[in-house]
Amino acid sequence: MLSVAILAAGKGTRMESSLPKVLHKISGKSLLQRVINSCVELNPDQIFVITGHKSKEVQESIPENKKIQFIIQDPQLGTGHAIQVLCRAIKKNEGKLLVLNGDVPLIKPGTLNKLLNLHDSKNADISLITTKKKNPQGYGRVFLKGDFIERIVEEKDCNNQERENLLINAGIYCFNWDNLSKIINTLQSNNNQKEIYLTDTVSLLKNSLSLEVEDNGELQGINNRIQLSKCEENVQNSIKEKHMLNGVTFINKASCSISEEAEISKDVTIEANTHIRGRTKINSNCIIGPNTFIENSNVGFHCEISNSTVYDSQIIDHIKIGPYSHIRPNSKISSHSKIGNFVEIKNSQLEEETKVNHLSYIGDSIIGRSTNIGAGTITANFDGQKKYQTKIGKNSSIGANTVFVAPINLGESVTTGAGSVITKDSKDNSLAISRTKQVNIANWKKKKF
């Protein structure tokens, strides 16, 4: 029987934030969500998330999962107190209890498995992960006696000599829960922080083991924003390296960010200052960026998107977007189309070979294939209360500065005169024009005052 407890009740004072520490994010996922994702891989029987500070906010951040049970620790008197509260709340303290700090977000399931295996093979009371840090500042120092852990001394309780010890406690423990429950209530808070430390259990339990692992970044604890940024950098580096090995070129890697879920195919070039977020897929031979943001979208083959923003949309193949285009949610731009300078498209479907090259707003529209939308064309889709649709048939030629007052439905091969305000539907092959005729008045001069 394997149970997991995740410690997530603390405020995170050193973050200097109104957001609880475990809700800060690394590459789009909260610290707590990352720890949960890692331990779910171990297929435990139950997961306890211990919350306290802003517990409602923390609990609401976690999607429904039948295995997760929240335990409230209020007030928060330390990591040992958190486990005292858990032991009291749960009747059966049996099997293995894996305790994970909610602020050590990059821990890998493989490393957790190693700990569980060591624990089982040595029939330990407690086994925990340690590592040697060049700069151990802020961590609890682990003191060994032979094969066993003698004690852990928190940084704030260390004397000068103890502080020199580079072997640190990573904040990841496996307990024999039954034996833990027998000593958990004897923990004291007679230390410099006046907290009940979970780390004091090593001296109270008999068989305390250390699993020393190489520090490759996964054991980084997050107590302040410098450490948060370090972890972000680690995650981003590994995401980008994965893509580079798969055939993606980054022109200026450090200025780009890529979500873990993003899929990028071979021979895609990511130019500087480009951010690919959420579930985005970029197919091969695209050039994305510079200065581009794409979220939850699909981009087909051979597309070029520069200096533009794309949200929740489908960009099919051989398409050029930008510079300075904004493709808003629920848009579909079909193959061989071109969306140009200062163009905003929202909730619209553009068929193949459509061109919207300059200074337009196309909202709630369906534009037929091979239609050219002249510069400055606007769909007036909102009457102050409701949004309406604009439909333009294929092979149409929309004059510059046309305003479509929706709802409007134009047939195929329709032309509109430049500067027209179109308020009525028109049939196939027609010209729709609505503007006053130009008058030239001869010999007219401005009066001088």
Residues annotated as catalytic (active site), given as ranges: 358
Closer to ligand UD1 by CB, 78 or 374: give it: 78
To ligand UD1, the closest distance from the beta carbon of 138 in angstroms equals 7
Closer to ligand UD1 by CB, 197 or 311: give it: 197
The entry of ligand UD1, Mg ion, none that residue 10 binds, CB within 5 to 8 Å by partner kind: ligand UD1
By C-alpha distance, which of 94, 128, 69 is closest to 1?
A: 94
To ligand UD1, the closest distance from the beta carbon of 149 in angstroms equals 12
Q: Is 221 in the site for Mg ion (CB under 5 A)?
A: yes
Q: Is 223 in the site for Mg ion (CB under 5 A)?
A: yes
Q: Which residues bind ligand UD1 (CB under 6 A)?
A: 7-10, 22, 50, 52, 73, 76-79, 81-82, 101-104, 139-140, 152, 154, 168-171, 197-199, 221, 223
Q: Stretches 102-110, 147-155, 178-186, 306-314: which one binds Mg ion (CB under 5 A)? A: 102-110
Q: Is 154 in the site for Mg ion (CB under 5 A)?
A: no
To Mg ion, the closest distance from the beta carbon of 138 in angstroms equals 8
Q: Are 149 and 169 in contact (CB under 8 A)?
A: no
Q: Is 20 in the site for Mg ion (CB under 5 A)?
A: no
Instruction: Report the C-alpha gap between 149 and 208 in whole angstroms.
Output: 5
Q: Is 103 in the site for Mg ion (CB under 5 A)?
A: yes
The entry of Mg ion, ligand UD1, none that residue 152 binds, CB within 5 to 8 Å by partner kind: ligand UD1
The entry of ligand UD1, Mg ion, none that residue 198 binds, CB within 5 to 8 Å by partner kind: ligand UD1
To Mg ion, the closest distance from the beta carbon of 264 in angstroms equals 34
Structure-derived torsion over alpha carbons of residues 198, 202, 208, 213, reported in degrees to the nearest 10? 60
Q: Stretches 157-165, 219-227, 267-275, 362-370: which one binds Mg ion (CB under 5 A)? A: 219-227
To ligand UD1, the closest distance from the beta carbon of 19 in angstroms equals 13
Closer to Mg ion by CB, 223 or 269: give it: 223
The entry of Mg ion, ligand UD1, none that residue 306 binds, CB within 5 to 8 Å by partner kind: none
The entry of ligand UD1, Mg ion, none that residue 347 binds, CB within 5 to 8 Å by partner kind: none
Q: Stretches 11-19, 103-111, 126-134, 331-339: which one binds Mg ion (CB under 5 A)? A: 103-111
To ligand UD1, the closest distance from the beta carbon of 281 in angstroms equals 34
Q: Which residues of the chain form contacts with Mg ion (CB under 5 A)?
A: 103, 221, 223
